Amino acid sequence: QSVLTQPPSASGTPGQRVTISCSGSSSNIGINYIYWYQQLPGTAPKLLIYRTNQRPSGVPDRFSGSKSGTSASLAISGLRSEDEADYYCAAWDDSLSGRVFGGGTKLTVL
């Protein structure tokens, strides 16, 4: 049982916009930054979004992050086949004094 809750799966067709949610609490998402990672099959995770809504250089602006209260979202617009991957949210949890990850969402591009 992950501290941060994500839907196990999501899907969309090429060109579509999809959103992946991440639900937490007042001790993590409510007061701290959110991070999103993309993991392609058989590879290490890759940073997609940092500090809730910032993109590292090289990450397309099709990817965007947001937060409201104790929930966060990753939006992917103009969906492409290469976006098919697992996506994880992460945050620092003040109650645990540690980092927590969501359980991951497997995105399928139909």
Partner 1 sequence: QVQLQQWGARLLKPSETLSLTCGVNGGSFNGYYWSWIRQPPGKGLEWIGEINHSRSTNYNPSLKSRVTISIHTSKNQFSLKLTSVTAADTAVYYCARGNGSGSPRGIHFDYWGQGTLVPVSS
- Contact positions toward partner 1, by CB under 8 A? 2, 32-33, 35, 37, 44-47, 50-51, 56, 88, 90, 92, 96-104
Our CB check for partner 1 shows the closer of 17 and 96 to be 96
Q: Which residue has the tokens 């927590």?
A: 100
**Closest distance between partner 1 and the C-beta of residue 77, in Å?**
22
Our CB check for partner 1 shows the closer of 76 and 89 to be 89
**Closest distance between partner 1 and the C-beta of residue 72, in Å?**
14
Given the DSSP bridges, would you call strands 85-93 and 71-76 parallel, antiparallel or unpaired? unpaired
**Closest distance between partner 1 and the C-beta of residue 44, in Å?**
4
Our CB check for partner 1 shows the closer of 5 and 73 to be 5
Our CB check for partner 1 shows the closer of 24 and 102 to be 102
Given the DSSP bridges, would you call strands 18-23 and 63-68 parallel, antiparallel or unpaired? unpaired
Torsions phi, psi of 100, nearest 5? Answer: -130, 145
**Closest distance between partner 1 and the C-beta of residue 46, in Å?**
8
Distance, in Å, from the CA atom of 52 to the CA atom of 19, rounded to the nearest integer, reads 14
Given the DSSP bridges, would you call strands 9-12 and 105-109 parallel, antiparallel or unpaired? parallel
Which amino acid does the sequence have at 10?
A
